[in-house]
Copies of this chain bind each other. A is one copy, B any other.
Amino acid sequence: MAKQLLGKEVNEKLNARIIAECEELKARGVNPTLAIVRCGERPDDLSYEKGATKRAEALGVAVEKFLLPEDVSKEELLRTIDAINANDQIHGVLMFRPLPKHLKADQDEICNRLDPRKDVDGMTNGSNAGVFMGKELGFAPCTPAACMEILDHYGIDCTGKKAVVLGRSLVVGKPAAMMLLAKNATVTVCHTKTRDVAAVAREADILVSAAGVLKSLTKDYVCPGQVVIDVSINWDEAKGGIAGDAVYDEVEPIVEAITPVPGGVGAVTTSVLIGHVVEAAKRAAQ
């Protein structure tokens, strides 16, 4: 039976660290603050906003909301971002995407208006450059950062290990690969054009699955001794709930350790986001 890598266990320590850092900052007169920028009222956004707000407040991070109508003009949204950039009481920004349809063509320009130093969700070119170069320019997207928190929490040393990442998206696959490389893993990135992915995956010591395809990670992809980080959140109609890429019941008995879905990576991303806000406040206070 595999060890379960549980988001809640990671969060316990991570949250305690964030609370302590928050208190330290407040003692120095810095009040770590997250700005949330939302255009319209998409249910997904509202739900994530609620969770992030609750977590932020529980950890001591203030939340300031910038709520704009769904038909907000590009100019108005840019003015909002400019004001946030100029406001040194705001340390991190979560802006929901995709932006409303009429702003879609300008989404790239709008996102990049944000100062990368406040980009706690890894959406700007500056944050991407930082992840690629290993520089503190912005922040990695929260999901791959959550994967690293899980590895760290469970003391899984990546040095010299073979890490295989399934997926090459900018929100998970590519940054996860760069972060594993920074942890001295030998990293292989697989994708839809990879031949015999299962054989490549079986070679991994650490397997990060971000395929986003329900039941794609079967027993053929794994072998004893592996650590499996199942990043994906897929809707499983049969189960009537969310599930990862792994066919959990057949993968779990084989591998050494695995993150469940739900309760694994996804459970850590909100704390990572808040942790980034605190880190941004620390950097700004230096």
Chain A residues packing against B (C-beta within 8 Å): 125-126, 128-133, 135, 137, 159-160, 168, 170, 174, 177-178, 181, 184, 186-191, 193-195, 200
Contacts and interface: CB of A to CB of B under 8 A. Distances in A.
Contacts of A190: 186
A131 B133 CA distance: 11
29 contacts: A125-B125, A125-B129, A125-B135, A125-B137, A126-B129, A128-B129, A128-B132, A128-B133, A131-B132, A132-B174, A132-B178, A133-B170, A159-B193, A160-B193, A160-B194, A160-B195, A174-B181, A177-B189, A181-B189, A181-B191, A184-B193, A186-B188, A186-B189, A186-B190, A186-B191, A186-B200, A187-B188, A188-B188, A188-B189
Given A126-B129, A159-B193, A188-B188, 10 more contacts: A125-B129, A129-B132, A131-B132, A160-B193, A181-B191, A186-B188, A186-B189, A186-B190, A186-B191, A187-B188
A35 B146 CA distance: 44
Copies in the complex: 2
A115 to B, nearest CB: 13
A140 to B, nearest CB: 12
Contacts of A177: 189
Contacts of A189: 177, 181, 186-188
Contact of A181 (B125, B132, B168, B200): B168
Question: Of A130, A132, A178, A200, which is in contact with the most chain B CB atoms at under 10 Å from its CB?
Answer: A132
Question: Of A135, A159, A181, which is in contact with the most chain B CB atoms at under 10 Å from its CB?
Answer: A181
Nearest to A182: B168
Contacts of A195: 160, 186
A78 B159 CA distance: 40
Nearest to A124: B129
A177 B174 CA distance: 11
A23 B187 CA distance: 44
A285 to B, nearest CB: 21
The 8 closest A-B pairs by CB, nearest first: A132-B132, A129-B129, A125-B129, A184-B193, A188-B188, A186-B194, A160-B195, A128-B129
